[in-house]
Structure 1
Amino acid sequence: MHDIRMIRETPEAFDAALARRNLAPMADTIIALDMDRRRAIMAAEAATAEANQAAKDAGRARANGDDAEFNRLRTLMTEGKARTATLTDRARDLDTQLNDLLLGIPNLPAADVPDGANEAGNVEQKRTGTPRTFDFAPLEHFDIPAARAGMDFAAGAKLSGSRFVVLTGAMARLHRALAQFMLDTHVDKHGLTETITPVLVREEMMLGTGQLPKFGEDSYQTTTGWWLIPTAEVTLTNLVHGDVVDEATLPRRHVAHTQCFRSEAGSAGRDTSGMLRQHQFEKVEMVSITAPQDSDAEHLRMTGCAEAILDALELPYRTMLLCAGDMGASAVRTTDLEVWLPGQDTYREISSISTCGAYQARRMNARYKPAAGGKPEFVHTLNGSGLAVGRCLIAVLENGQQADGSVVLPAVLHPYLGGRSTITATGELI
């Protein structure tokens, strides 16, 4: 959410930043609505003051026995209260309109974010690892014999419909091992605090991180009003919802492994084969709450945490800085990690690390007390996948596949698999 004072003071800069997101100018509309709101508030306050003064004057007239003046003032009081109520309702309605308008406007890109209308404008920052050269045509994950025995899309469809899967045997254990490895690495090596949160949240939590009101169709809501989280970003970030924390407690760094739920609205026909795009999936999510001056450095640190997982798994990947037109609505800057998938012969996103500045904090009213004193200020929030477990499973399978249909697994996972290192073509973990 944006600071209305910033829009009033720098409307041209605000519209220029929106243009980088391929959006039309909005400053004039916002400022006009804000002026109407402020005039309505002032008129309501003036009417209240007049009604209060009439009440005082009526009291004096009654004390002096001036019934005519008392009756006249009493009529003014009644009329004034009615006018005050009307003006107050008007001010409240305009305030709601302004708040709703601001809630629907995405964050403004940072100055170092490249311009671009879509993913074609993203900038590659580096490549890590060399894609393996195969002496056979590599398969996509769902066609690899080692995976087929434990990756049942027909069962998932029977239970829940399209874009669900049932994992059994070696596939289920490998999936669990990946999540456990990620958590252990982030906790033991990166200093994040392991956190378990609900996957059902109240509507204001979704508003706080920006999933609502604009992107409600991308998530699932229960009949009782709770929302299923699309990622633990929602719960971990909202841990400071409505709070004023001491600067000495920052940064706060959390990691959680959760089920995630997305309707994938608008993605019909894209990545429908296999596990790449599911309605229910698992992620290990990182969230940091920082003071404003620390958020840029924290973005680099979080990116390094996610890269370390891919490095340990010996998976080739590239690091991308997203352009203004391809970032999520809450971000001022986003770095994507894209892992190499030989079955698709391309890089695919496996992590997004985003700095959100004070955008989410203002929506949540999450602030901190500066150590140097002064008024509370909004914290900065950051989030990132560390990593998407299902997509990591895909990458491990495709990069480790062998000509005989087996899959050789990364050495770092062997301790999590009871010392086993390979999934045979028949799906046995050995």
Structure 2
Amino acid sequence: MLTLKQLRDDRELAIRKLAKKGIDAAPALARIEELDDRRKALQAELDACLAEQNKAAKQIGMLMGQGRRDEAEERKRFVADLKERSVRLAAEEKAAADELQSVVVTLPNFPADIVPEGRTAEDNVVVKLVESYTELPENPLPHWELARKYDIIDFDLGVKLTGAGFPVYKGKGARLQRALIDYFLDCNTRAGYLEIEPPIMINEASGFGTGQLPDKEGQMYHATADNFYLVPTAEVPVTNIYRDTILDEKEFPVKMTAYTPCFRREAGSYGKDVRGLNRLHQFDKVEIVQLSLPEHSYEALDGMVAHVEGIVRSLGLPYRILRLCGGDMSFTSALTYDFEVYSEAQ
């Protein structure tokens, strides 16, 4: 989440940075300044009221000790009025602070300077392309047809059990899925990442902790009775391990890896982009997460990209690496590299 200092120190810079993500931040920033000023004024008034209240309370004891009971009773009534006023001011200050927070969390993270301008996936920049295509037979089958032919992934059974986007892996399909998860986790732990097995449901605070809330609320599956959310990625519970935790500088970097099933509603997805294993509502994902000192964060990201590239290379698959443009990045991201593996018959 952006800080008030980032948003208020240079308003025009904040507007320019957020414009790269397609956000007109001017109205929100104006409201933030208004609410922050009101919150500060209310806090100053409350502090003065409490100070006056404490001073008057001390006077009551002094007056009582001097036998000036009538004056002491008058001070008591004065203190009672101050208490009533301080309660009102505290409530108004909290309301202003809560509204301020609700506006701040609607603004996405600032993009890095090297993020390309653009609004859609067509504006992303290819930073690396590795072509190692195999020679396919005539009329090759896309993966959903191969899965049906060899009975390794059953999309229709998934529809029966749950709905579209929830495939059933069978036989060698299930074994391949499990083998890939184990392989990726082993690669990560050998590289110094601590394996974590987190819950696959999170509370609301964890959703706000990594920016899924309020931005992606409509894309997450919500267990309303307990107000829990099914994880859209292992990144969410793993990162939240350190929410509200202060680390010593010598503890960095913190490197973690985790596997979870992931759940996304993918509302609005349709057509060819949802065929087969594309845009599933439930899928398996192995995640790597690093916590780094700010001055080392981009160096850490470059190392993570190189690590993932090494894994993709080891599988012998054609791929490319994209640097996403501002409009195609996630709410919380400052810089995103996407790996796209080529699906030859698709």
Q: Same-fold call, TM > 0.5?
A: yes
**Where do 4+ consecutive residues of structure 1 move more than 6 Å?**
none
Paired residue for 1:221?
222
Paired residue for 2:320?
318
Residue 191 in 1 paired to residue 227 in 2? Answer: no
1:292-345 Cα distance to aligned partner (Å, 9 max, x none): 12111110111111111211111111111001111001110000111111222x
Paired residue for 2:330?
328
Paired residue for 1:208?
209
Paired residue for 1:48?
50
Gaps of at least 5 residues in structure 1 are 345-430
> Is 270-279 or 112-121 further displaced after alignment?
270-279
> Is 193-202 or 31-40 further displaced after alignment?
193-202
Paired residue for 1:89?
91
Q: In the TM superposition, what are the counterparts of 1:298-317 in structure 2 within 5 Å?
A: 298-317=300-319
What is the Cα-based RMSD across aligned positions, in Å?
1.6
1:99-123 Cα distance to aligned partner (Å, 9 max, x none): 1211221100011111111222211
Paired residue for 2:287?
285
1:4-50 Cα distance to aligned partner (Å, 9 max, x none): 12222111111111111111123222111100110011111111112
1:197-233 Cα distance to aligned partner (Å, 9 max, x none): 1112222111111111231121112222222111110
CA–CA distance in structure 2, aligned partners of residues 147 and 63 of structure 1: 96
Paired residue for 2:17?
17
TM-score by length of 2: 0.94
CA–CA distance in structure 2, aligned partners of residues 270 and 84 of structure 1: 61
Amino acid at match of 1:203: E
Tell whether the 8 Å contact from 2:215 to 2:331 is kept in structure 1 after alignment: no
Deviation, structure 1 residue 270:
5.9
Amino acid at match of 1:286: I
> Is 218-227 or 78-87 further displaced after alignment?
218-227
- Secondary structure of the residue that 1:144 maps to in structure 2? helix
> Is 239-248 or 300-309 further displaced after alignment?
239-248
Paired residue for 2:41?
39
Amino acid at match of 2:322: M
Q: In the TM superposition, what are the counterparts of 1:233-272 in structure 2 within 5 Å?
A: 233-269=235-271, 271-272=273-274
CA–CA distance in structure 1, aligned partners of residues 150 and 266 of structure 2: 25
Amino acid at match of 1:16: R
Paired residue for 1:397?
none
Tell whether the 8 Å contact from 1:44 to 1:88 is kept in structure 2 after alignment: yes
Residue 166 in 1 paired to residue 168 in 2? Answer: yes
Tell whether the 8 Å contact from 1:58 to 1:70 is kept in structure 2 after alignment: yes
CA–CA distance in structure 1, aligned partners of residues 48 and 272 of structure 2: 58
CA–CA distance in structure 2, aligned partners of residues 318 and 55 of structure 1: 72
Amino acid at match of 2:199: P
Gaps of at least 5 residues in structure 2 are none
Tell whether the 8 Å contact from 1:322 to 1:336 is kept in structure 2 after alignment: yes
> CA separation of 1:147/1:339 partners in 2, compared to 1, >3 Å: closer, same or farther?
farther
Paired residue for 2:117?
115
TM-score by length of 1: 0.77
Structure showing the higher strand proportion among its residues: 1
CA–CA distance in structure 1, aligned partners of residues 201 and 213 of structure 2: 15
CA–CA distance in structure 2, aligned partners of residues 307 and 251 of structure 1: 20
Deviation, structure 1 residue 290:
1.0
Paired residue for 1:374?
none
Identity rate, percent? 34
Amino acid at match of 1:121: D
